[in-house]
C-alpha cells in the first residue's frame, strides 16, 4: 500500500514584484527535498476559482529565483468580492471548498495586504492551512520590517531619476517624477534619495502647493533646474479635485492609478507652470518600476522566506505571515498584516532623509 505524498500549493497575488519567483523556488525546493508534491495555482485567487494549477517539480523551478515576475501568473481577484454580472459576490466559502478539493496539506499565498486579507479570512473562518509572505514594491505590509520587491524597485527608481539630471539641467526644466506606492511613501522616498531628487513628496506628510512652489523656485534659482519625486497618491486637499480618474476601483477598492487621465505628476507640473512660470514636465515611471530581475538582497531574503514558510507548514503551524525582522524570517500572526492596514513611513525616518535634500 502506497503512502500518499503530502501536497503543498503555492500562489502569487496582486501586482507583480521582483522576488515572487525566489519565494516560489525557496518554498518549492524545500518541499520537494522533503518528499512533498508541489502545485502552483495559476493567477492568484482567480486560479482557485478556475481550478487552474501546474506541477512544480525540480525542472519547473530551475533557475526561476533570479527572474522577475512570477511563473504562476497573478491577478487582483478578491474572493470576498467576485464580480458576477453586475453584482459582487462573497466567494470565500466557495474558495475554501475548492481548496479542500485540491487535497492540500498546506497553501502558501504570497502577496500584499489584499492577498493576505483573503488568506486571513480563509484561515479564521474555514481553517484553511495557509501561510503568507509579504510582497510589495510599496513596502506597506504591516507586521514586517521589509517587503520583497521594494529594494529592487527603489534601486530601479533611483537609477531612473539619476538619469534625468543631465537632461533637465541642460534644458532648465522642472521634472515631476511620479513613483508607485499608493498610500505609503517608501518607494518614492528611497528611490528619490537614491536618485538625487531635490524634493520628495509622500502621502504620509502633506505639503501645500504654495510651499512646494516656493521650494521649487528656491532650488531652481540655485541649480537652474529641479527634480521632484512624487508618490502616485498624495494627501493634498487643495489639489485633490484636479485628479482625473477614468478606470474606477479594482476588486479591493483601490483606484486604478495606471488608468488615470490626469495623475499627481501632471497636476503638480501644471501648478508649477501656472504659479511660478517655470517649464515643468511630468514623468510617469509606470509599470517598469516593478519589472526586471530581483536585487541580490531580494533574492536572498525571498529564498529564506520561502524556506521558512514551508518549514512552518511542515510543523503544522498555519495562519502565519513569514515576516522579515532583524534580518531574518519570523512567523507572526496573519491578523497583524491583513484587514486593509497600511505600514507607513515613520516621521523620524522621513525627516532624517529629507534633511539631506537641498
| Catalytic residue ranges | 138
In the DSSP assignment, the letter for residue 127 is -
Question: Could you give the CA distance from residue 322 to residue 306 in angstroms, rounded to a whole number?
Answer: 8
The separation between CA 110 and the C-alpha centre of its own chain, rounded to angstroms, equals 11
In the DSSP assignment, the letter for residue 143 is T
Count Cβ atoms below 10 Å from residue 212 Cβ, excluding itself: 22
Q: What angle do CA 30, 332, 317 make, to 5 degrees?
A: 50
Question: Could you give the CA distance from residue 186 to residue 216 in angstroms, rounded to a whole number?
Answer: 22
Question: Could you give the CA distance from residue 161 to residue 195 in angstroms, rounded to a whole number?
Answer: 5
Which parts of the chain fold into alpha helices (H)? 20-33, 45-50, 58-61, 92-101, 113-126, 150-162, 165-171, 186-195, 209-223, 264-276, 296-314, 347-354
Spatial contact of 55 and 86, defined as CB atoms under 8 Å apart:
no
Question: Could you give the CA distance from residue 247 to residue 304 in angstroms, rounded to a whole number?
Answer: 37
> Phi/psi zone of residue 35: left (φ > 0), alpha (ψ -120 to 50 degrees), beta?
left
Pairing of strands 53-55, 37-41: antiparallel
Cell digits of residue 84 = 458576477
Question: Could you give the CA distance from residue 154 to residue 187 in angstroms, rounded to a whole number?
Answer: 6
Question: Could you give the CA distance from residue 205 to residue 185 in angstroms, rounded to a whole number?
Answer: 9
The separation between CA 151 and the C-alpha centre of its own chain, rounded to angstroms, equals 11
Q: What angle do CA 121, 322, 289 make, to 5 degrees?
A: 95
Amino acid at each position: 500500500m502506497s503512502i500518499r505524498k503530502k501536497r503543498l500549493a503555492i500562489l502569487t497575488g496582486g501586482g507583480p514584484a521582483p522576488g515572487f519567483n525566489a519565494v516560489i523556488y525557496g518554498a518549492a525546493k524545500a518541499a520537494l527535498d522533503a518528499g512533498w508534491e508541489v502545485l502552483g495555482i495559476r493567477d492568484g485567487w482567480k486560479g482557485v476559482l478556475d481550478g487552474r494549477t501546474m506541477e512544480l517539480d525540480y525542472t519547473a523551478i530551475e533557475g526561476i529565483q533570479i527572474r522577475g515576475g512570477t511563473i504562476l501568473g497573478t491577478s487582483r481577484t478578491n474572493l470576498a468580492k467576485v464580480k458576477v454580472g453586475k453584482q459582487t459576490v462573497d466567494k470565500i466559502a466557495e474558495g475554501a471548498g475548492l481548496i479542500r478539493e485540491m487535497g492540500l496539506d498546506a497553501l502558501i499565498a504570497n502577496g500584499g495586504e489584499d492577498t493576505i486579507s483573503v488568506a486571513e479570512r480563509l484561515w479564521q473562518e474555514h481553517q484553511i492551512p495557509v501561510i503568507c509572505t509579504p510582497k510589495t514594491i510599496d513596502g506597506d505590509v504591516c507586521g514586517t520590517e521589509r517587503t520583497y520587491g521594494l529594494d529592487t524597485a527603489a534601486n530601479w527608481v533611483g537609477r531612473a531619476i539619476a538619469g534625468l539630471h543631465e537632461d533637465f539641467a541642460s534644458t532648465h526644466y522642472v521634472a515631476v517624477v511620479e513613483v508607485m506606492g499608493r498610500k505609503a511613501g517608501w518607494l518614492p522616498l528611497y528611490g528619490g534619495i537614491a536618485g538625487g531628487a531635490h524634493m520628495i513628496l509622500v502621502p504620509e506628510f502633506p505639503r501645500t502647493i504654495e510651499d512646494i512652489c516656493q521650494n521649487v523656485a528656491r532650488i531652481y534659482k540655485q541649480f537652474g533646474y529641479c527634480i521632484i519625486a512624487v508618490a502616485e497618491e498624495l494627501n493634498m486637499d487643495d489639489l485633490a479635485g484636479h485628479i482625473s480618474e477614468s478606470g474606477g476601483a479594482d476588486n479591493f477598492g483601490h483606484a486604478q492609478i495606471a488608468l488615470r487621465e490626469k495623475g499627481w505628476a501632471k497636476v503638480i507640473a501644471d501648478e508649477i507652470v501656472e504659479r511660478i512660470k517655470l517649464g515643468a514636465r511630468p514623468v510617469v515611471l509606470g509599470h517598469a518600476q516593478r519589472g526586471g530581475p530581483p536585487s541580490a538582497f531580494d533574492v536572498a531574503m525571498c529564498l529564506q522566506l520561502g524556506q521558512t514558510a514551508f518549514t512552518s507548514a511542515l510543523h503544522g503551524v498555519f495562519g502565519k505571515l513569514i515576516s522579515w525582522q532583524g534580518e531574518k524570517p519570523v512567523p507572526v500572526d496573519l491578523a497583524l498584516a491583513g484587514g486593509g492596514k497600511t505600514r507607513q513611513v515613520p516621521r523620524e525616518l522621513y525627516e532624517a532623509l529629507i534633511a539631506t535634500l537641498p
